[in-house]
Structure 1
């Protein structure tokens, strides 16, 4: 049976913003299938080759793990044995992650897992001692340039690879289109880049900033597109995303509120009728340490 316990530690990564879906267990459960379908599988192929040259067991630290969806998606695609350390600052999410951890590697080897609560903004190489791989999902856009640079420095110092998935790019496609789409998209992007609590968030600039931060430290970096494609089969997720997208845009640019109610009503009606298709841009970043480049 997998090992499951909680203990204090230096990591966390679940932030929320006004008008956007907060990282509740229900929201993360709603998006898990779409996340799994979107992640760039070819990066896992490259990662698998890299891990084949490493000592076993593979130790994976999943930063901002939420309910543990990354482990459930990735562990079964990698050879074992594996030890997963699931980090988050939200005890509710850690409890959910502990209840459904990754259990079996691609070759049938058992996978062990434990949870660890804390914050990641002061992450250092020493905190990653013994780590083979650092993972994260839907995290980097919630960080600052300094925090992303610190993450890259910590991974480089520890000689750990990194697979960082589902970072928003700001690219949104709605079909059929509406004349107001561009205004809401621009306001949402500005909201993602906002200053909050003295921190300037990277938002849709995070993917490029992360790739650059790792490349400056000699890592071999690969970047792949990993968009959500939401149609009638994922109408529930599209509806919740639309509410959060419009709400965040209005929080950033209040004059949009005059049109928001009618716009959202029409968009939700089209979604419920199976007539709306939504594309939400993300990127995945794989960084292999300099010694393996």
Structure 2
């Protein structure tokens, strides 16, 4: 699954506002005196996670950007290379079978809005790889499956349930975690022996351009999953485009030892 650069650009500011700075503060304490920092960004997209995190970590850093889309990797490399004291390399390919040996030399593994696209088995393997490699993990903006629209109306629950089911669909024989990702990630890291902290990281929108684009995708996926909603969709979309919206996410910090 790939995402357009336009969509990633549209959501970048909302992502930046939503991510937990408290988890970064905790992470920074564990990385003291490590220089340069080597950071692996999984599913980096256009590099928004690096642009958000690099300045908050400080010091000399080397980012290894992973993605399956070469176009996005090029944009990410260009954007990250503008940072002082930051060097960048890119790795194109699949992210669903990383092992501890693949993370050798890393000081941090991070990702943003990725875990819902993994299966439960892939999530378990990723957590085990991080812990076995003794690498902290900061995974942000995992969808929680909960939307708040204000004012609320009865159809909200039907569209939310259909969208969540769509996110849990089977793709090429893989059942995606979707909104089960935050709990699955926390459980996987805890089972692997890591110390885990989580924080809420909601998008908050008020009838803006991001909300309109998000809402079209949200309703479209719900209708794809539950065609019976198609008749309601156009008018529902019109009404909800003027509501305020909160889209809930969860950030997770896993440390491979006691906090």
Aligning the two structures, in what range does the TM-score lie when normalised by the shorter sequence? over 0.9
**Residue 79 of structure 1: CA displacement?**
2.6
Aligned to 1:124: 99
Cα displacement string for residues 192-224 of structure 1 (whole angstroms, at most 9, x for unaligned residues): 111121111111110011011111111110011
Cα displacement string for residues 226-270 of structure 1 (whole angstroms, at most 9, x for unaligned residues): 0000114xx1000000000000000110000011111112223x2
Distance in 2, matches of 1:217 and 1:142, equals 21
Give the match's secondary structure for 2:245: strand
Aligned to 2:221: 248
**Residue 114 of structure 1: CA displacement?**
1.6
Q: TM-score, normalised by structure 2?
A: 0.97
CA contact (8 A) 1:72 1:102 kept: no
Cα displacement string for residues 131-183 of structure 1 (whole angstroms, at most 9, x for unaligned residues): 11000000001110011011101111111000000000011000112221110
Alignment equivalent of 2:17, drawn from 37, 45, 60: 37
Alignment of 1:1-293 (within 5 A): 15=1, 23-52=3-32, 55-101=34-80, 103-104=82-83, 110-232=85-207, 235-268=208-241, 270=242, 276-290=243-257, 293=259
**Residue 116 of structure 1: CA displacement?**
1.3
Distance in 2, matches of 1:102 and 1:145, equals 34
CA contact (8 A) 1:103 1:110 kept: no
Distance in 1, matches of 2:10 and 2:81, equals 19
Distance in 2, matches of 1:153 and 1:221, equals 13
Distance in 1, matches of 2:152 and 2:50, equals 36
Question: RMSD of the alignment, in Å?
Answer: 1.2
**Residue 103 of structure 1: CA displacement?**
4.7
**Residue 93 of structure 1: CA displacement?**
0.5
Unaligned stretches of 5+ in structure 1? Answer: 1-14, 17-22, 271-275
Distance in 2, matches of 1:57 and 1:149, equals 29
**Residue 55 of structure 1: CA displacement?**
3.1
Q: TM-score, normalised by structure 1?
A: 0.86
Relative to structure 1, is the Cα distance of residues 249 and 36 closer, same or farther in structure 2, using a 3 angstrom cutoff? same
Unaligned stretches of 5+ in structure 2? Answer: none
**Residue 102 of structure 1: CA displacement?**
5.7
Give the match's secondary structure for 2:35: coil
Structure 1: which 4+ aligned runs deviate by more than 3 Å? Answer: none
